[in-house]
Structure 1
């Protein structure tokens, strides 16, 4: 399994393979409530322009230096009518900065990044910071993804027996 940090995708250019043109830049990574990659939110074209996305089904490839799409028509207007989309950085429901708390109230740290399986496009873990000094001394930890994680407005709630592992 090849993994990638979702934050590494933010800022990558999106290139249309039909014309060879730069059609946007990734501003955020969007996920379904089940933790599956949904789409890339692209930078807005101007002040009055609507948000645009490149959905998973419209991707050609996610490379080291760019994301490619078959053509410009693959870029869609962003709509989240149901309010169920989770984002990496922005939005009402996002991962970065959320506290990770056990069911009995022990703070494990805060989410700094999300690890994705590049082939299956699913969340496989969360990079956790236990604070600046602990990060310097011991490095960041990983919370493996599992179905018992509950995502609240400000926290991820995990079972009491949850253990963080060494960073990947």
Structure 2
């Protein structure tokens, strides 16, 4: 299990050549709460953003992600349904429970890197609340509903 904040900025290496292909800059997610891929920033002077299907990642190491072939980094033809920070961003959106209770603002996601399933949402009520109360993690076993103004989630009791 990883959080996006741990994966963001990690280098992506091709195992055949040992070359660094780029760095992870965002998560791509579906409406049903599945991580479908990663956005990888490539290039030195002329930066481009490429799409990497999560199923093409050979391994998620602590110091980098490994892929078999640089051709797995595809040109981004169409915008993903949702990303964490870029297009249609989910970060900072208000999260509400299905019962109408405000949970806080989405700060990070916990996901199983092998299958891309999001298993938890880290939320915040602000800097001072995080310091005094600590991080809050919401677990949900069911898909979330993403709307223009809020994310609706069924909270699973732990």
CA distance in 2, matches of 1:112, 1:99: 10
Q: Deviations over 1:83-121 (max 9, x none)?
A: 5522111112x2210111245654221010000023332
Q: Partner residue of 1:99?
A: 94
Q: Given the superposition, is the C-alpha separation of residues 164 and 135 from structure 1 closer, same or farther in structure 2, using an over 3 Å criterion?
A: farther
Could you tell me whether the CA contact under 8 Å between 1:15 and 1:67 is conserved in 2?
Answer: yes
Q: Specify every segment of 5 or more residues in structure 1 that has no aligned partner in the other structure, as ranges.
A: none
2:32 pairs with one of 27, 31, 34 = 34
Q: Partner residue of 1:90?
A: 86
Q: Does 1:120 align with 2:115?
A: yes
Shift of 1:59: 1.4
Q: Specify every segment of 5 or more residues in structure 2 that has no aligned partner in the other structure, as ranges.
A: none
Q: Partner residue of 1:18?
A: 16
CA distance in 2, matches of 1:120, 1:57: 7
Alignment length, in residue pairs?
Answer: 158
Q: Deviations over 1:9-51 (max 9, x none)?
A: 1100010111110111111011222222211101153787653
Q: Partner residue of 2:134?
A: 139
Describe the SS at the equivalent of 2:132. Answer: helix
Q: TM-score, normalised by structure 2?
A: 0.86
Q: Given the superposition, is the C-alpha separation of residues 75 and 149 from structure 1 closer, same or farther in structure 2, using an over 3 Å criterion?
A: closer
Could you tell me whether the CA contact under 8 Å between 1:142 and 1:164 is conserved in 2?
Answer: no
